[in-house]
A and B are shown apart, each in its own frame.
Chain A
Amino acid sequence: QKEVEQNSGPLSVPEGAIASLNCTYSDRGSQSFFWYRQYSGKSPELIMSIYSNGDKEDGRFTAQLNKASQYVSLLIRDSQPSDSATYLCAVRINTGGFKTIFGAGTRLFVKA
């Protein structure tokens, strides 16, 4: 079982729709969860972090965390073509020391 799992996509949504991206993780003790966005040919950049169960909103982005189900999601409201990118779920796990592990990413296409 991979430590962080995501559907690779691609996920295609029309402009203005809600894009829903999902992630599951295996380390039940994980406490910190992140979403990074990576445009083609660029490096990942942090867009959201979440540490407590429930929802966290930042502009058009909402991160959702359910530790009991070991599930993290990212909702993008009013999707724009500029949101087209790969979204990487990342989890900080404890392996004696802490390190951040990434999922394979979900490619999102927003059609104008």
Chain B
Amino acid sequence: DTGVSQDPRHKITKRGQNVTFRCDPISEHNRLYWYRQTLGQGPEFLTYFQNEAQLEKSRLLSDRFSAERPKGSFSTLEIQRTEQGDSAMYLCASSLGDRGSGEKLFFGSGTQLSVL
């Protein structure tokens, strides 16, 4: 168990550019979540996958955001035409899903995005 890995740790980009982040979950975990967190706030749900299927995407998320999880392994989150309001920490979490006793999330270290 090597934990949840995210890459890159930091990304600085100019407004209007596209960015892509990668998340490698814990190997046996079938669920993968993306959250966004800004200073002083809790993680805000963006989307989640059960294996390769994207089960839900936040209604607050614009069409500039897209996520994939090919083959149910790693996941990518792409933001097109970045805006300054996209600046945040993007957190990935994985879990074994519901084992009848709730779901425990394991978080990666996050990708800090700064849009200039």
Q: Is A92's beta carbon under 8 Å from chain B?
A: yes
Q: Is B55's beta carbon under 8 Å from chain A?
A: yes
- Bound state CA distance, A101 and B58, in angstroms? 11
Bitwise interface map of A from 25 to 69 toward B, beta carbon under 8 Å scored 1, else 0: 000000111101000001111100101000000000000000000
Q: Is B40's beta carbon under 8 Å from chain A?
A: yes
Name the A residues within 8 Å of B33 (CB-CB). 99-100
* Neighbour of B56 across the interface among A36, A44, A96, A104, CB < 8 A: A96
Q: Is B48's beta carbon under 8 Å from chain A?
A: yes
Q: Are A104 and B42 in contact (CB under 8 A)?
A: yes
* Neighbour of A95 across the interface among B44, B56, B103, B109, CB < 8 A: B56
In B98-116, which residues have CB < 8 Å from any A CB?
A: 98, 101-110
Nearest B-chain residue to A8, judged by Cβ: B40
Q: Which of B41, B43, B44 has the most CB of A within 10 A?
A: B43
Interface size, chain A (Cβ < 8 Å): 29
- Bound state CA distance, A51 and B41, in angstroms? 25
Interface of A is mostly: strand
Nearest B-chain residue to A42, judged by Cβ: B109
- Bound state CA distance, A83 and B55, in angstroms? 36
Name the A residues within 8 Å of B65 (CB-CB). none
Q: How far is the CB of A77 from chain B (nearest CB, A)?
A: 23
Q: Are A100 and B42 in contact (CB under 8 A)?
A: no
Q: Which of A49, A96, A99 has the most CB of B within 10 A?
A: A99
Residue pairs across A and B with Cβ atoms less than 8 A apart, 10 shown, are: A33-B102, A34-B104, A43-B107, A44-B91, A46-B106, A92-B102, A98-B98, A100-B33, A100-B105, A101-B45
Binding site for B on A (CB under 8 A): 4, 6, 8, 31-34, 36, 42-46, 49, 51, 88, 90, 92, 95-105
Binding site for A on B (CB under 8 A): 33, 35, 40-45, 48, 50, 55-56, 91, 98, 101-110
Closest 3 CB pairs of A and B: A32-B102, A102-B42, A43-B107
